[in-house]
Amino acid sequence: MGGGNPSIARSLALQILCEVERDIPLERALDQCLAGATLETRDRALLTHLVQGSIRLRRYLDWVIGHYTSRPVEDLPSPIRNTLRLAVYQLLYLDRIPDRAVVNDHVSLAFIHGHRGTAGLVNAVLRSFLRAGKRIPVVPRDDPVTAIGVETSHPDWLIRRWIRRFGENEARVLASAGNQIPEIVIRVNRLRASPEELRERLLRGGVETRQGEANPGVLYLSGAPSCVQDLPGFDDGWFQVQDESSSLVGLLAGPSPGNRVVDLCSGVGGKTSHLVEQMRDDGLVVAVDRAMWRLRRLRDNCRRLGVESVFALRADVTVVCVQPSDVVLLDAPCSGTGVLARRSDARWRREEADIPRLARLQSRMLAAASSLVKEGGWLVYSVCSLEPEEGEDVVHRFMSEHAGFRLENAGGWLPGTVVDGGGFLQTFPHHHGMDGIFAARLRKAGRGVGQ
């Protein structure tokens, strides 16, 4: 038993799942794996799909597996637990792969990462599942938190919060939105092309598009290859992969040509490049991040997009010292509850106790960011969280402690459909069809920018 050779994509998928369980962020584990592996485009797509799906539906998969094994799933060794998750995910959701091939591959993986006994366990569980006709055990309905949590594969603490805030029905719909496979969304780089030019080029390549409703400079793709690098216009820097909600933060920041801008927690440069685009590459954007690997990807993105007026700085946001600037953007680290469809590991890497801890960090970062704003300039604070403690509560606390700043209604820069009653940018996946995000624009008293 276990003498076969599993596919490279499945072997690497198992490796990534085990790394994520060791608290390595999925984005980083996946990037490192893809950079070091020689895979055909089809295998890269399969690898990404397997990893994202198995992590996104982890609790639901464990519920299924637990009814076909006498051992608690959490007591199994990590490679065996994740081998079963990968296999059951494929048996349930990937009908192009023969069941026999799925079983054989994962029995082999269990042998390689364990022994004959673990291979026998995986074989027994999978064959029992198939003999039962892939029967899914019924989830008890007596506890709505557990029922919704299992069926939508979310942790109880998050479902409990959403039920208190939105009610059971909406909590279920919101959680279900976090399990949708995200569309490929790109923002047109207007320094290189117009939306119309890019749409026409993509259509010639067999890719259909629809424009974003809140930002027409964003395109949703259908019929696109799974690897964005294969899209027409990628190498020429005609676009940047960016969700529509994220692009709205850049519009809210609204820098002008000649401005000096600081982008704190810049990441790989999605918002950074959008800021430069709005400035027509005239001025300076200082992109600040703690992680050198993210800054390296930011530089690569800027080169591809033809962006020149960016200075990348590795620093801690709470202690960074730069010249006071016209615009400061703080995209703060958060719980990520608004982007669970794209960051499938976030739901398992966070606990409820993280939210007040993150809110304290966000408050410190916002206070530090405010010191970098010149008189008459403005500060934009954003998080990809749906939790009010990380959004409006942080902003209201900041304003009570910093009398020199006032809130500006986001409706002055964005459509009313994405602005809530408090004047904040706020989107929800189940209402707006895009990632969930919160942002506020705060003006510092003093002379106008440029005076």
Can you read off the two tokens belonging to residue 32? 């490192």
Catalytic residue among 18, 302, 334, 384: 384
Domain count, the chain: 4
Residue 1 forms part of a structural domain: no
Q: Which 3 state secondary structure label does DSSP give 438?
A: strand
Residue 138 forms part of a structural domain: no
Q: Is 302 a catalytic residue?
A: no
Can you read off the two tokens belonging to residue 220? 């949703």
Q: Hey, what amino acid is at 316?
A: D
Residues 253 and 357 in one domain: yes
Cβ atoms within 10 Å of 181's Cβ, excluding its own: 10
Residues 19 and 164 in one domain: no
Residues 46 and 93 in one domain: yes
Residues 33 and 61 in one domain: yes
Residues 396 and 278 in one domain: yes
Residue 137 forms part of a structural domain: no
Closest CA to 177 of 330, 56, 334: 56
**How far is the first Cα of the chain from the last one, in angstroms, to the nearest whole number?**
77
Residues 270 and 412 in one domain: yes
Can you read off the two tokens belonging to residue 146? 């557990």
Residue 323 forms part of a structural domain: yes
**Placement of tokens 């918002």 in the chain:** 271
Instruction: Identify the H or E element spanning 275.
Output: helix 270-278
**Runs of H (alpha helix) within 57-211:** 58-66, 78-93, 99-112, 116-131, 144-152, 156-166, 168-177, 195-204
- The pLDDT assigned to 353 comes to 97
| Spatial contact of 211 and 195, defined as CB atoms under 8 Å apart | yes
Measured over the CA atoms of residue 286, residue 229, residue 187 and residue 174, the dihedral's sign is negative
- The pLDDT assigned to 433 comes to 94
Total-model pTM: 0.92
- The pLDDT assigned to 35 comes to 80
Burial class (CB within 10 angstroms; exposed 0-12, middle 13-18, buried 19+) of 408: middle
Residues 280 and 429 in one domain: yes
Residue 3 forms part of a structural domain: no
Tell me which residue range forms the domain holding 160.
144-177
**Over the stretch 209-232, which tens digit does the pLDDT of each residue have?**
999 999 999 999 998 777 888 899
Residue 114 forms part of a structural domain: yes
Residue 450 forms part of a structural domain: no
- The pLDDT assigned to 1 comes to 52
For 192, list phi and psi in degrees, rounded to 5. -115, -30
- The pLDDT assigned to 450 comes to 47
Kindly give the confidence (pLDDT) of every residue in the chain, 451 residues in length, as a single tens digit, with 9 standing for 90 and above.
554 567 888 999 999 999 999 988 898 888 888 887 788 878 888 899 999 999 999 999 999 999 999 889 999 999 999 999 999 999 999 988 899 999 999 999 999 999 999 999 999 999 999 999 999 989 988 999 999 999 999 999 999 999 999 999 999 999 999 999 889 999 999 999 999 999 999 999 999 999 999 999 999 999 877 788 889 999 999 999 999 999 999 999 999 999 999 999 999 999 999 999 999 999 999 999 999 989 999 999 999 999 999 999 999 999 998 999 999 999 999 999 999 999 999 999 999 999 999 999 999 999 999 999 999 999 999 999 999 999 999 999 999 999 999 999 999 999 999 999 999 999 999 999 999 999 999 999 986 554 4
Measured over the CA atoms of residue 416, residue 421, residue 424 and residue 426, the dihedral's sign is negative
Residue 251 forms part of a structural domain: yes
- The pLDDT assigned to 446 comes to 85
Residues 400 and 416 in one domain: yes
Can you read off the two tokens belonging to residue 163? 């039920």
Residues 317 and 170 in one domain: no
Give the domain CATH number at 34: 1.10.940.10
